Amino acid sequence: HLSNSDHFGASSPASEIERPRPLAGGPPRNDETQSRAVGKTLQHLLLRPLYQLYEIGLQRQVCIQPPPRHVGIILDGNRRYARKYGATDPHQIYALGARKLDDVLEWCCELRIPAVTLWAVSTDNLSRRSAAEVSGILAAIEAKLAALAQDPRIHQQRVRVKAAGRLEMLPAPTVAAIRAAEKATATYDDGLALTIAVAYGGHDEITDAVRTLLRAAANEGKALAEAIEAVTPAAIARHLYMAGLPDPDLIIRTSGENRLSGFLLWQSAYSELYFPAVNWPAFRKIDFLRAIRAFQQRRRRFGG
**Shortest CA distance to 281 belongs to which of 111, 101, 130, 136?**
101
pLDDT digit string, tens, across residues 170-179: 999 999 999 9
The SS3 call for residue 150 is helix
Taking the model in full, what pTM does it have? 0.84
Give the 3-state DSSP-derived string for 35-87, with helices as H, strands as E and coil as C. Answer: HHHHHHHHHHHHHHHHHHHHHHHHHHHHHHCCCCCEEEEECCCHHHHHHHCCC
190 is catalytic: no
Per the residue annotation, which of 89, 125, 208, 287 is the catalytic one?
125
pLDDT digit string, tens, across residues 194-207: 999 999 999 999 99
Per the residue annotation, which of 4, 30, 31, 76 is the catalytic one?
76
Return the pLDDT at 47: 76
298 Cβ contact list (under 8 Å, min separation 6): 272
pLDDT digit string, tens, across residues 236-268: 999 999 999 999 999 999 999 999 999 999 999
279 is catalytic: no
Residue 2 has pLDDT above 50, yes or no: no
pLDDT, greater one: 6 or 25: 25
Q: What are phi and psi of 272, to 5 degrees?
A: -85, 140
**Shortest CA distance to 252 belongs to which of 282, 284, 288, 285?**
288
Residue 296 has pLDDT above 80, yes or no: yes
Return the pLDDT at 236: 97
- DSSP readout, 24-37? TTPPPP-HHHHHHH
pLDDT digit string, tens, across residues 270-288: 999 999 999 999 999 999 9
